[in-house]
Amino acid sequence: MKILLVDDDILLANSLALALNHMNYQTTCKYSGNDAEHALAHNTFNLLILDIGLPDKSGFEVLSHLRSQGNQTPVLILTGENDPEHQQRGLDLGADDFMVKPFQLHELQSRIRLLAQPHHLNKSALWELGLLSFDHMGRVAYLNQEVLPLSPTELSVLEILLRRAERLVSTDEVLNHLKEWGNESSGHIIHECVLNIRNKINGCGIVISELPNLGYCLQQNKEKLA
C-alpha cells in the first residue's frame, strides 16, 4: 500500500513514515502543499495523510484541488487543530477521516486499514471480475478486498484490461491508454508489466492471456473454477 504523508513538521513526518514503513506501508513524505500536489499528479497513492497547516497553502486547498481533479484517493486529515469547524470543513471538502494530534500509532494503523478497504466506495466506481476489482475514481486495485501493490504503469495496464475484461485488448490500445496518463511505454514494457501482474494475482482464479502480435485478455480461469 502506497501512502503520501504531507506535513510541514519534517521530524514528525519522517518519524511517522519510518514507523509506517516498518508496518509494510510504502510511505512518501512531502512537506508543502505544492510538493504534495505535484506528487499526486504524477504518482498513484492508496492513501493521502494530510496536515492542514502547510507553509505555502493549506491542506484544505490541497484537498479541494485533489477532488476538483476527480481524484478520489482516500484522505485522512491528521492535524493539531482540534476544532470541530475544521473537521466539518475537511469532511465537506471530501476527506474520508479526521484525526487530531497527538495520537496513538495503533489508532492510526486501524484508520489506515479501514480506509484501505473498498467497502466504503460507491459500487459504481468499481470494475470487478471475480476477486479482482479496480476503483477507477481513486485508481486503486484490490484483490480479495486487499490493496494490490502495483507500480503506476502496472496499475494503468490492469485498468484497461479489467475495464474490458473477457475481451481482447490490442497492444496499441494499451499503449494509447498509458499515453493518456503521461506514460510513454513500449510493447516490451507492457509485456513485463503483464508478467508482474500475473505473479501478483496468481491463484485468484483470474488469468491474463497473451495472443502474440494481437494483444491481451483478462478473464476468469474457467478450468480453475470448474
Asked if 112 and 7 sit in the same domain, the reply is yes
Verify that 170 and 101 share a domain, yes or no.
no
pTM of the model: 0.56
Better-scored residue on pLDDT, 14 or 102: 14
The CATH number of residue 132's host domain is 1.10.10.10
In the chain, the amino acid numbered 123 is K
Q: Are residues 211 and 144 in the same domain?
A: yes
Closest CA to 141 of 126, 123, 121, 120: 126
**Final residue in a domain of this structure, among 67, 84, 116:** 116
For 49-151, where are the alpha helices, taking DSSP H only?
A: 59-68, 84-93, 105-116
3-class DSSP assignment, residue 43: coil
The domain total for the chain is 2
Indicate whether 103 and 128 sit together in one domain: no
Q: What is the mean pLDDT of residues 218-223?
A: 79
Cβ neighbours of 73 (radius 10 Å): 22
- Residue 186's pLDDT is 81
CATH of the domain at 6: 3.40.50.2300
Average pLDDT value for residue range 95-105: 86
For 183, the domain range is 123-225
Cα–Cα distance measured from residue 99 to residue 103, given in angstroms and rounded to the nearest whole number: 8
Alpha-carbon distance of 45 to 73, in angstroms, equals: 7
pLDDT attached to residue 226? 35
For residues 31 and 112, membership in a common domain is answered with yes
